[in-house]
Structure 1
Amino acid sequence: MFGSQPNGLSTDNKMLSFQMASDKVKGILQLKKYLEQFGYLNYKNSKNRTHENDDDFDESLESAIKTYQLNFHVNSTGVLDKKTLSKMAMPRCGVADIVNGTNCMRSGKKNHHHRHGSGSPFHTVSHYTFIPGNPRWPASQTHLTYSFLPRTRSDAINPVDKAFQTWQGNTHFRFTRVQDSSNSNIKIGFGRGDHGDGRRNAFDGPGGTIAHAFPPPDGRFHYDADEQWAVGATPNSFDLETVALHEIGHLLGLEHSEVEGYHVSLHLYWSH
């Protein structure tokens, strides 16, 4: 898995007392920013837009919480209960679950594909969802190159190589690592805080968002340098290869899938 240390939003009991709109408790603004980051809230065209930067529990926030609860198989009440907060506090991928108003995790556009064979981390029945707008590499471009940006930690190279090999064995793509990052299709590196991808995509220190990748033909894939990274399953650390398996899906145009019992931090794109 990505890791086991919940972090990010507070799970303080004060945050668990919301039963209806109009409640005001410190910390709600942080919750709004979290839900906005992952696509659940958009105050720009909302009648509640005056509440965008306050600690009011308004109707738009209640609706956003209900959608989040549906996506993550929590009882959809709109009440900010402990189970919902615990889900939100888990480390996760930085790619949004709702893009331009399309709920990728419940879009009804999942594809089902059956694969056979042993030794593959991709399960027999595959469920996957494309990013809205279906950004894809050109049909003729099935051979993609990838490179590591300067100052990439050396122990990340082999796990990422293995992740690309896994995708190559389960798709029509071929991947080749090259040295010249200026001309490669995919560029991989580590960053911290606002690392050049825009404030919306800034990393947030330990926990919270731990990695992100951009859809075709962008090709950027970044790990958060402030996290504890490791090769293989290590307590209190994130596995480099597992995270790469997840983020490569975004590089190929795939979105988060809705899989009961899984958090976005655990989603692989091909799963039961």
Structure 2
Amino acid sequence: MLTSIQLIALILLTDIDSVVAEKIFHSRDHSDVEVPASQQAELITDKVTAQQFLSKYGFIKPVNWEEIQFENEEAIPYNDNPAPGDIMSVIQESGSVSRAGIKDESDDPAESPEFVSALKEFQRMSGLSVTGVFDDATRAAMNEPRCGVPDKEATAKSTNAQNSSNGTAGNVTASEAANFTVNGTRDRPAYTAVSREKRHLKTLLLAGRRRKREAGGPGQMAFSKKVLKWRLIGEGYSSQLSIDDQRYIFRLAFRMWSEVCPLEFEEDTRSPLAEIDIRLGFGTGRHLGCTQRFDGAGREFAHAWFQGDIHFDDDEHFTAPNTGNGISLLKVAVHEIGHVLGLTHIHRASSIMQPSYLPQDTGFEIDWLDRKAIQQLYGSCKGRFNTVFDWVRKERTPYGEVVIRFNTYFMRDGWYWLYENRNNRTRYGDPVAVQVGWHGIPTDGVDAYVHVWTWSTDTVYFFKGTQYWRYDSENDRVYTEDSEGRRYPRLISEGFPGIPGPVDTAFFDRRDSHIYFFKGSDVYAFDVNANARARGYPKKLAEAFPAVVPNDHPGGHLDAAYFSYTHNAVFLLKDTRFWRVVSSKDRLLRPSLPHNGLLPHQEVHQQWFDICNVHATALKMSG
């Protein structure tokens, strides 16, 4: 175990086969296949230590985890060695009554109804046979590496009375705070509304009191702001990984949450520490002024506080992505960040919020249930897009066959997301800078994409302002000059006679071989076979694409017009809404529907999930 001197020294998609059109932006972590046998803390071996385990993690009596962090008003400097104050120490040193309030009336805890009930609850939540017997399978489950946050935390019902008598505000339960329950067993922690002083770093002793969440209605988020600052604190660097590796891993961990919810995380190394929302650090034993003591290598590897700090046990063998066996720091960090944001443990094998650490053979990602849990707190990602399109191209298989494939892309402000239709979410690791995937088009994005695809033509165009570019899909770059001698970029009015630039958006309709350009409240149709504007155009958008339901219409100034090969339909997008254009199949089923009519609007985030912004500091995924 490190001494304080040593610690100070450490400060220094779809039915058609899809493909990935470019390399993945970064590799996810799957380096944690095996935990070395030597990495073991003191094991749970008998019913006495099992009772201590069940008490510590809230199975015997729910633990008020937040209040443990603030037991004393006087902060403890990180290099002091005060008397033990953590739960395990209290249980070990008690006489006739443990911290959990169970009288030691027998030498055998198994005779206690509270112990048996708690053991059954642990077995049930761990997916074991619910027997109430401390068997080998239960012992093994208790000895798995895990998070230090209790599985069952105190609810408002058990603490409101005491708070009322003390003149403090009531606490918030899980159902009140998020209205989200997993397997009918999870309770969110109870948090007082009274600001309290953190008991962490020596540099925080004089810092202002941190705001705790006030009691409120269902769905209240842990943080009310959308951009959160974080920092790896200088007093808490790991002794096992370089500082650059640590910062890279934490940036990636925060980024993974940004990819599925409307929060952005900014690494801030300059602001006063009291202004940092989430502080991360490593320590051993009694560490960083924390009331909780780490247990050494093997079992409890980290813990975190709602709207607060994250500590990692530096006795553990943490590893960087793809560097060898050990405990994946990335996976642990993603889990603990979830706690800071307000999530509790989710007892599901695929969940990153499960309490136990489970090595796996493949890279991990944030599970669907985790995504829905965090979105229940913070909502879904919303926003408008510069353009949306399906990129269709020919590819040759390893067997020499030519196949046609496509991917769906959303573009916004110089960044793009590849949408995996078969998984109904964006590709892991997106967004990516436009210039990385589309070589030669404007780096701040485009207004429109058009793919003219007929039996005789296969041409791709990008439009920006008054200009357009032809794209060479085979060589993955824009043309500077095509085979006909036309140089790019060109004016829209030159390449498409009768179409004034700039345009808002456009799409190619294979049904009539027309490109439809949208400009304000007007629509221009361009006949690609005649190379001229179609007769009868321009028309008003409401005339060319009438509303099926009166007054449910975008009006004009569209963001994107998009033909989807997945849905075999045209969509018009504006702000956070979309309208689907009536198809031929729709009219066969309902002949009264107007040609090119717009069906009632829906929200974009309810059709295409998790298209989320990521903070600039997390987009820079270098060390």
TM-score class, shorter: 0.7 to 0.9
Question: Is residue 2:267 matched to residue 1:177?
Answer: yes
The whole-number CA distance in structure 2 between the counterparts of 1:51 and 1:164 is 48
Pairwise CA distance, 1:171: 0.7
Q: Give yes or no for the alignment of 1:137 onto 2:222.
A: yes
Preserved CA contact (<8 Å) 1:3 1:239: no
Q: Distance in 2 between matches of 1:55 and 1:87?
A: 21
Partner AA of 2:222 in structure 1 = W
* Aligned counterparts, 1:92-131, within 5 A: 92-100=146-154, 110=180, 131=188
Q: 1:197 to 1:55 in 2, by over 3 A?
A: farther
* Of 245, 248, 253, the match for 1:163: 253
Q: Secondary structure at the match of 2:228?
A: strand
Unaligned runs of 5+ residues in structure 1 are 16-26, 113-128
Q: Which residue of 1 aligns with 2:143?
A: 89
User: Is the contact made by 2:57 and 2:150 (CA closer than 8 Å) also made in structure 1?
Assistant: yes
**Among candidates 8, 18, 28, match of residue 47 of structure 2:** 28
AA at the equivalent of 1:143: V
1:215 to 302, 306, 309: 306
Cα deviation for residue 161 of structure 1 reads 0.3
Aligned counterpart, 1:230:
319
| Letter of the structure 2 residue corresponding to residue 28 of structure 1 | K
Residues 228/51 of structure 1: CA separation in 2 closer, same or farther (3 Å cut): farther
Q: Which amino acid aligns with 2:306?
A: P
Q: Is 2:113 the counterpart of 1:56?
A: no
Match for 1:189 among 281, 296, 318? 281
* Paired position in structure 2 for 1:78: 132
Does the CA contact (< 8 Å) of 1:74 and 1:84 recur in 2?
yes
For these two proteins, the number of residue pairs brought into alignment is: 234
Question: Is this contact kept in 2: 1:143–1:174, CA < 8 A?
Answer: yes
- 1:255 maps to a residue whose letter is T
The aligned counterpart of 1:123 is: none
Would the alpha carbon gap of residues 29 and 221 (structure 1) be closer, same or farther in structure 2, given more than 3 Å must change?
same
Deviation at 1:168, TM superposition (A): 1.0
Q: Calculate the aligned-residue CA RMSD, in Å.
A: 3.3
Q: SS of the residue aligned with 1:160?
A: helix
Deviation at 1:95, TM superposition (A): 0.7
Aligned to 1:256: 345
Mark the CA change 1:96 to 1:166 in structure 2 (over 3 Å): closer, same or farther.
same
CA offsets 1:30-79 (integer angstroms, 9 cap, x no match): 22211111101235675x42359x55323221111101001001011110
Contact in 1 for aligned 2:350/2:367 (Cα 8 Å): no
Match of 1:152 in 2: 237
Contact 1:160–1:244 (CA under 8 A) maintained in structure 2 = yes
**SS of match in other structure, 2:259:** helix
Whole-Å Cα distance in 1 between the matches of residues 118 and 131 of structure 2?
11
The letter for the 1-side match of 2:116 is: E
Q: Is residue 32–residue 61 contact of structure 1 (8 Å, CA) maintained in 2?
A: yes
Q: Counterparts of 1:269 and 1:99 in 2: how far apart (Å)?
A: 23
Find the residue that maps to 1:189 and give its secondary structure. strand
Change (3 A) 1:271 1:65: farther
Q: Does 1:40 align with 2:59?
A: yes
Distance 2:105 2:294 in 1: 25
1:110–1:137 CA distance, 2 compared to 1 (3 A): closer
Is the 2:256–2:366 Cα contact (8 Å) retained in structure 1?
no
Query: Do the aligned residues in 2 keep the contact of 1:246 with 1:269 (CA within 8 Å)?
Result: no
Per-residue CA deviations over 1:142-197 (Å, capped at 9, x if unaligned) read: 11000111141312110110111111121111110011434211100001112122
Q: Structure 2: how far apart are the matches of 1:269 and 1:51?
A: 45
C-alpha displacement at 1:239, in angstroms?
Answer: 1.1
- Partner of 1:204, secondary structure, is coil
Q: Deviations over 1:216-269 (max 9, x none)?
A: 2xx201110101111125554111111111111001000011215775224886
Quote the offset at 1:132 in angstroms.
3.2
TM-score w.r.t. structure 2 length?
0.34
Task: Report the 3-state secondary structure (helix = DSSP H, G, I; strand = E; otherwise coil) of the residue aligned with 1:50.
Answer: coil
TM-score, normalised to structure 1, is 0.74
Asked whether the 8 Å contact 1:90–1:208 carries over to 2, the reply is: yes
Q: Secondary structure at the match of 1:98?
A: coil
C-alpha change, 1:130 and 1:57, in structure 2 (3 Å) is: closer
Q: 1:192 to 1:10 in 2, by over 3 A?
A: closer
What one-letter code is carried by the residue in structure 2 that aligns with 1:137?
Answer: A
CA distance in 2, matches of 1:156, 1:265: 22
Contact 2:54 2:118 survives alignment (8 Å): yes
Q: Distance in 2 between matches of 1:261 and 1:85?
A: 22
Match of 2:122 in 1: 68
CA contact (8 A) 2:60 2:100 kept: no
In terms of fraction of residues, the more helix-rich structure is: 1
- Percent identical across equivalent pairs? 26
1:245 aligns with 2:329: no
Q: 1:190 to 1:83 in 2, by over 3 A?
A: same
Structure 2: 5+ residue stretches without partners: 1-29, 62-97, 159-172, 192-212, 214-220, 359-364, 370-623
**For the residues of structure 2 that align with 1:130 and 1:165, how far apart are their CA atoms?**
27
Which stretch shows the higher mean deviation, 181-190 or 37-46? Answer: 37-46
Structure with larger Rg: 2
Matched residue SS, 2:285: coil
Tell me: CA distance 1:72–1:261, structure 2 relative to 1, closer, same or farther (3 Å).
farther
CA–CA distance in structure 1, aligned partners of residues 258 and 143 of structure 2? 33
Deviation at 1:137, TM superposition (A): 3.0
Whole-Å separation in 1 of the counterparts to 2:326 and 2:349:
24
